[in-house]
Structure 1
Amino acid sequence: MSEYQYYEFIAIDEPLTSKQMAELRSCSSRAHITSSSFVNDYQWGDLKANPVDWMRRYFDAHVYVANWCTCILYLRLPKSVFDVGTFRDFKTETTFTATQTKTHWLLEWGLDESDDYERFALENGHGWMGRLAPLRDELLGGDLRPLYLGWLAGVSAGEVSEKSMEPEPPPGLSRLSAAQQSLADFLEIDADLLTAAGLADPGVAKSNSKSDVELDAWLAALPEVEKNAMLKLLLTGHAQRAERELKRQFLAWRREQSSGEKSAMPRRKVADLHKLAASATEVRKQQAAIQYKKAEAERQAERETYLRTLAADFNRHWRTADNHAKRGIASAYDEVKRTLVDLSDAYVLCATRADFDRRLTQFMTRHGKRGALVRRLVEVGLWQK
């Protein structure tokens, strides 16, 4: 199998200039390039540029997928959104890192050497950007769950020591957004470990209520001149910029207000998370067994209903089997086999197996020389040569 690599970049905050698009084109003659994106795949070569350099110069998001079981997500965010300490506890060796440029943060989530060979044998990279790009707006809005997921991917991959303490768990780990669930899938975070991480999550109503109170307090204290400036941005077509600036100011205020408060969610050791994950595995298996039994019971009830409809007129269905057998073709023999299997079960349910065997003997007296049909009935245990 040949090598396969997929590169997709998108610009969000600022469109690419004609000069920048020409610079990108000089690196690839066959890539699809627009004022907001660069997309290309390689089966025999590679990108003639450094993706990190492109993230610094041109783009706000990048997805990379290679069929040697590797995938990477990069997001670029304005430096003013987070301080240096924000990322300290979330960083791992490979699954999540954060670096600075003069103006931005470059955040990287990565999966290296996955064991899911089937996934990457089929994976072409298309679609991930649309599912993962919303993470950027979530981070700009102060949602730290994507950072925690990067750390948890490190735990799932065995990069984090059992004695290590988890970062402060962000609220909402038990109710991930669609983009965050996609990130968990992208990084192949163990589902039971993800469940364990969310067990200490506070209630939705309580979390939302506290957030509303904080927001009301901050808005009440916001100077009139700043409110007017934001309204002006909204009315002049800069709604996105206004939203991000307001969120940035609100988050800075909230961090300042809560700097001395004790976290609502207790921090746990990695070993504790693994124990919780093991318990979650058992619960999941038990629930799956219950669901399986329920589904089997429903399937059996549906089949019994169907078999009783056959028993209502056995003679008609034997005649149908006779007519199919007379056609002498493979598809007709397959239909006979299915019919006789169902009739056998219907006799056991509504009459006796002896009655079925008697009727089958009569049937085979007429069709016993049809070798292909006989083989089919022998295969399902209805007849013996």
Structure 2
Amino acid sequence: MTRLLPVRNELLGGDARPLYLGWLARLGNGELCDDEFEPPVPAGLQALTPAQVALAEFLMLDADWLAAAAESSPSILASESNGSEDNFDPWLRELSVDEMRAKLRMLLQGRSHEAERTLRNAFLKWEKGRNTKHLNLPRRRRISEIESRVAAHRAIRERREQEARQAAEARRREERTRYLTSLLEQEDTAWSSIDAQLRRTTGSAYDQAFQKLQDLAEAYANVRRDAVFRRRLAQLMSSHGKRGAWLARLQKAGYLWQPKS
């Protein structure tokens, strides 16, 4: 819930994106009909704030529906989101003396947050009215129109996720190959490590020794040196071939080594 706290200040500052996310939640809950129109589309739906991302997660919004809904959302220009001096000055010149005195009185009374909120809301209202006259605002779509775009965004998301999984798997294989190569570069040390673990005669030591043995088997197989692995394992079994718990692990894994009589 801590992640959601900034949403309140965003709403008070005139950011309508949390309200649109709430409407999408109603849509996801099946509360709306396909022929209903969406509310006015706020700017910046493609780049939600951290608090709005947390809100979307809390509301369990479908990512594909959100992407489809964001298609007609204009981007937020830095000057518009930050409120630059170039944006403020034309509006400030239109304020009456009484309006400015009222806000200064609020500041002197220790109501700075309220003064900032009312000033910002008044500025955003003025700016919205000016933009309505000069800009082509996004057309409000029917729910069925948004739904028609969901499948395309789902395909894009699934392709990206598949590419990410493939990239992660490729990295894992590369790391695995480097590790197995390092084992063979110091194979005597690796076999000595297994021998030392087996001499501890504990279940956890056997597990660690068996894991290292499996790694060595894979490393030898990768370079077609299986015969070397079998020979080194036979040497190891000459010292540990009567350890029942160890033999059980080998047999279960398919090595099928039997203790010497």
Which residue of 199, 209, 233 maps to 1:360?
233
- Structure 1 residues 384, 261: CA separation in 2 closer, same or farther (over 3 Å shift)? farther
- In the alignment, the residues of structure 2 paired with residue 133 and residue 329 of structure 1 have an alpha-carbon distance, to the nearest angstrom, of 52
- In the alignment, the residues of structure 2 paired with residue 224 and residue 379 of structure 1 have an alpha-carbon distance, to the nearest angstrom, of 89
Alignment of 1:74-153 (within 5 A): 128=1, 130-153=2-25
TM-score (norm 2): 0.86
- Structure 1 residues 313, 133: CA separation in 2 closer, same or farther (over 3 Å shift)? closer
Q: Do the aligned partners of 1:141 and 1:247 also contact (CA within 8 Å) in 2? A: yes
Alignment of 1:1-385 (within 5 A): 128=1, 130-205=2-77, 208=80, 212=84, 214-257=87-130, 263-383=136-256
Letter in 1 for 2:75: G
Deviates more, 1:299-308 or 1:131-140: 131-140
Shift of 1:132: 2.8
Where structure 2 has 5 or more consecutive residues not aligned to the other structure, the ranges are none
Q: Do the aligned partners of 2:220 and 2:229 also contact (CA within 8 Å) in 1? A: yes
Q: Do the aligned partners of 2:198 and 2:205 also contact (CA within 8 Å) in 1? A: yes
- In the alignment, the residues of structure 2 paired with residue 382 and residue 216 of structure 1 have an alpha-carbon distance, to the nearest angstrom, of 82
Instruction: With a CA cutoff of 8 Å and minimum separation of 6, indicate the structure with the bigger relative contact order.
Output: 2
- Structure 1 residues 134, 369: CA separation in 2 closer, same or farther (over 3 Å shift)? same
Count of paired positions: 257
- In the alignment, the residues of structure 2 paired with residue 380 and residue 355 of structure 1 have an alpha-carbon distance, to the nearest angstrom, of 19
Where structure 1 has 5 or more consecutive residues not aligned to the other structure, the ranges are 1-127
| Greater Cα radius of gyration, structure 1 or 2 | 2
- In the alignment, the residues of structure 2 paired with residue 372 and residue 210 of structure 1 have an alpha-carbon distance, to the nearest angstrom, of 69
- In the alignment, the residues of structure 2 paired with residue 249 and residue 319 of structure 1 have an alpha-carbon distance, to the nearest angstrom, of 77
- In the alignment, the residues of structure 1 paired with residue 23 and residue 255 of structure 2 have an alpha-carbon distance, to the nearest angstrom, of 58
C-alpha RMSD of matched pairs (Å): 2.6
Overall identity of the aligned pairs, in %:
39
- In the alignment, the residues of structure 2 paired with residue 211 and residue 300 of structure 1 have an alpha-carbon distance, to the nearest angstrom, of 50
The equivalent of 1:23 in structure 2 is: none
- In the alignment, the residues of structure 2 paired with residue 180 and residue 369 of structure 1 have an alpha-carbon distance, to the nearest angstrom, of 63
- In the alignment, the residues of structure 2 paired with residue 196 and residue 216 of structure 1 have an alpha-carbon distance, to the nearest angstrom, of 37
| The structure with more helix, counted as a fraction of residues | 2
Shift of 1:240: 0.6
Shift of 1:358: 2.4
Shift of 1:243: 0.7
Q: Do the aligned partners of 1:168 and 1:263 also contact (CA within 8 Å) in 2? A: no
Q: Do the aligned partners of 1:174 and 1:197 also contact (CA within 8 Å) in 2? A: no
- Structure 1 residues 241, 204: CA separation in 2 closer, same or farther (over 3 Å shift)? closer
Q: Do the aligned partners of 1:165 and 1:267 also contact (CA within 8 Å) in 2? A: yes
Shift of 1:270: 1.5
Shift of 1:262: 6.5
Shift of 1:211: 6.4
- In the alignment, the residues of structure 2 paired with residue 139 and residue 320 of structure 1 have an alpha-carbon distance, to the nearest angstrom, of 62
| The structure with more strand, counted as a fraction of residues | 1
Q: Do the aligned partners of 2:44 and 2:76 also contact (CA within 8 Å) in 1? A: yes
Q: Do the aligned partners of 1:308 and 1:350 also contact (CA within 8 Å) in 2? A: no
TM-score (norm 1): 0.60
Structure 1 residue runs of 4+, over 6 Å off? Answer: none
- Structure 1 residues 322, 227: CA separation in 2 closer, same or farther (over 3 Å shift)? same
- Structure 1 residues 268, 331: CA separation in 2 closer, same or farther (over 3 Å shift)? same
Letter in 1 for 2:35: K
- In the alignment, the residues of structure 1 paired with residue 29 and residue 141 of structure 2 have an alpha-carbon distance, to the nearest angstrom, of 18
Shift of 1:207: 7.4
- In the alignment, the residues of structure 1 paired with residue 251 and residue 151 of structure 2 have an alpha-carbon distance, to the nearest angstrom, of 46
SS in 1 for 2:77: helix
Deviates more, 1:246-255 or 1:331-340: 246-255
- Structure 1 residues 365, 239: CA separation in 2 closer, same or farther (over 3 Å shift)? same
Q: Do the aligned partners of 1:337 and 1:376 also contact (CA within 8 Å) in 2? A: yes
Q: Do the aligned partners of 1:311 and 1:350 also contact (CA within 8 Å) in 2? A: no
